[in-house]
Amino acid sequence: MDTPRLVRTSGTVLAVAGLLLTACTAGGEGHSAAASSPSSSSHATLAALPSSATSDAAALKPYYDQTLSWHDCGAADFQCATMKVPLDYAAPSSTTDLKLAVARKKATGPGSRLGSLLVNPGGPGGSAIDYLQYAAVGYPAPVTTRYDMAAVDPRGVARSEPVKCLTDKQMDAFTATDVTPDDAAEQKALVTADKSFATACQQRSGALLKHVSTVESARDMDIFRALLGDTKLTYVGKSYGTLLGATYAGLFPSRVGRLVLDGAVDPSVSALESSRAQAGGFETAFAAFAKDCVARPACPLGTGSVKAAGTNLDTFFKQLDAKPLPTGSSRKLTEALGTTGVISAMYDEAMWTTLRNALTKARTNGDGSGLLRLSDSYYERDSSGQYANLMYANAAVNCLDLPPALTGPDAVDRALPSFLAASPHFGANLAWSSLICGYWPIPNTGSAHRISAPGAAPILVVGTTRDPATPYAWAQSLAEQLDSGTLLTYNGDGHTAYGRGSDCIDTAVNRYLLEGDVPTTNKTC
């Protein structure tokens, strides 16, 4: 669905800092009875899986019967452990097991404990453990005091056997590569960069690259649920995390407890449709930013109309294409990095001030450092030049989950008019950025499909009307697909809604998580 240059991650997780847990991959396993191992109740759901994902329940019993060895780690009251899962669910073998990092923060009360609440911020590729450190203290207190807050870094992500691809210097070059090529030579350079990225992932990640699908991560989550002692899964998934949660519901509908799917992904949408819809989402978000900006006396895109602001942005991008800006470092701000910096700020309206300042520095002072910092935060590049594996896992999961959006420059040329119609300012970038899965060395194992999860308990789907990364229409579609889906709407800006400042949204979600009550039909905040 997304490419390594465009990622479904809740903007909130980008703000988490200073709580990094240590030793989250340490721990041991033993033997004990799990709350719910793969019994006959799960065979009906397994029948719907691709043949490569199915396995005999007896072969999975050791995974459901392991004991997690919890230990204190990093921030106060957080515990970490390591969980074993099969590399290949079709052929579980202890010789190839993966070790996934898991963490939790136990409920502190008052009030009776309600079980575990798993969280995932999206991506694919976002660290759920990093996000847990925000959620455990940033989610509303009525929830965090009564649930054990818990997370597992999905396979291939962060602390859980991370997918590896480029070196940091190679990634610097990759992120700066022109993704709006103007001639055959620039097209060739972009294709070469995408092919090199894909080849590096295959060379450095080996067999893991075949087993990082959303289906497999959802099955890992069921093992974690059982090891936490819960008979049903309670879960808040943001952005791509909604696809992970919906996939879980489709596989294990009888084990669905209270699922909040916030910033929803539509599983029935193809990779091409997804990229094009996201282009429209960023266009909508930019229009909201520009409307706010031009009403201010010092807007770096002018003080005229929204249309004029967009024209000025296009002019700025063209100037960067012709002459990248200095940044006070050895790296220059290219058009690609500048565009990513702007896109990064579209995820959260709280970043609009930062974006205005960065654009002012760039357009007035010829200093690209502000936009470069925004781009680096998007790619999870730290001040020492090291990248997290976010973008590597992002490509690996997306290219495995769906057939490629586009398979070569000719296909991009044919699709470009529809992308530009959806987004005059970002369409070309999104179209060319959709190309990488066309060169992926591992064939996709999944495809776009509807998820109905018959028999599941009520599931709450949350959509934001001007969400840049997961368009509101996706939330409407997912709520309609799920037999037990209910849509909760936030009329506002930014990516995702729960825990981001709306009392109306938080009250509705809290009531669902604490009491199981879904909002009235079509409730809007």
How does DSSP assign 402-449, residue by residue?
Answer: S--S--SHHHHHHHHHHHHHH-TTTHHHHHHHTTGGGG-SS-------
Radius of gyration for the alpha carbons in the chain, expressed in angstroms and rounded: 22
Judging by DSSP bridges, how do beta strands 147-152 and 256-262 pair with one another? unpaired
- Assess if residue 222 is contained within a domain: yes
Read off the tokens for 376.
């680096």
- Shared-domain flag, residues 219 and 79: yes
- Assess if residue 201 is contained within a domain: no
Kindly report the CATH number assigned to the domain that includes residue 52: 3.40.50.1820
* pLDDT value for 111: 86
DSSP class of residue 517 equals P
451/176 Cα distance (integer angstroms): 38
Q: How many C-alpha atoms does 431 have within 13 Å on its Cβ side? A: 24
Torsion angle of C-alpha atoms 428, 429, 430, 431, degrees rounded to 10: 50
- Shared-domain flag, residues 425 and 514: no
DSSP class of residue 157 equals B
- Shared-domain flag, residues 415 and 464: no
- Shared-domain flag, residues 13 and 130: yes
- Shared-domain flag, residues 378 and 311: yes
- Assess if residue 346 is contained within a domain: yes
Q: Quick check: bond before 124 cis, omega within 30? A: yes
* pLDDT value for 55: 60
- The structural domain count of the chain equals 2
Contact status, residue 3 vs residue 398, Cβ threshold 8 Å: yes
- Assess if residue 43 is contained within a domain: yes
DSSP class of residue 234 equals E
Ranges of residues in the chain with a pLDDT under 50 are 1-23, 25-53
- Assess if residue 155 is contained within a domain: yes
Where is the domain boundary, 439, 473, 500?
439
Angle subtended by helix axes 390-401 and 184-205, to nearest 10: 90
- Assess if residue 364 is contained within a domain: yes
- Shared-domain flag, residues 462 and 434: no
- Shared-domain flag, residues 125 and 74: yes
Containing 134, the helix (H) or strand (E) segment is: helix 128-138
Query: Which residues are CB-neighbours of 166 under 8 A, at least 6 positions away?
Result: 174, 196, 197, 200, 392
Phi, psi of 119, rounded to the nearest 5 degrees: -130, 150
Q: In DSSP terms, which residues pair with 233 in a beta bridge? A: 256
- Shared-domain flag, residues 411 and 288: yes
229/61 Cα distance (integer angstroms): 15
Say what the pTM is.
0.90
Q: What secondary structure, in 3-state letters, does 47-88 show?
A: CCCCHHHCCCHHHHHHHHCCCECCEECCCCCEEEEEEEECCC
The residues carrying an active-site annotation are 239, 467, 495
- Shared-domain flag, residues 104 and 216: yes
How does DSSP assign 272-340, residue by residue?
Answer: HHHHHHHHHHHHHHHHHHHHHHHTSTT-TT-SS-HHHHHHHHHHHHHHHHHSPBP-SSS--B-HHHHHH
For 276-327, how does the pLDDT look when each residue is reduced to its tens digit (9 = 90+)?
999 999 999 999 999 999 999 999 999 889 999 999 999 999 999 999 999 9
- Assess if residue 191 is contained within a domain: no
- Shared-domain flag, residues 247 and 278: no
Q: In DSSP terms, which residues pair with 276 in a beta bridge? A: none
- Shared-domain flag, residues 253 and 290: no
Query: Which residues are CB-neighbours of 330 under 8 A, at least 6 positions away?
Result: none
Where is the domain boundary, 421, 439, 457?
439
By residue range, what is the domain housing residue 308?
A: 168-173+273-386+397-439
- Share the mean pLDDT of the chain: 90
- Assess if residue 1 is contained within a domain: no
* pLDDT value for 22: 43
* pLDDT value for 34: 33
Long-range contact pairs involving 301-305 (C-beta distance under 8 Å, separation at least 24): 301/359
- Shared-domain flag, residues 354 and 503: no
* pLDDT value for 56: 76
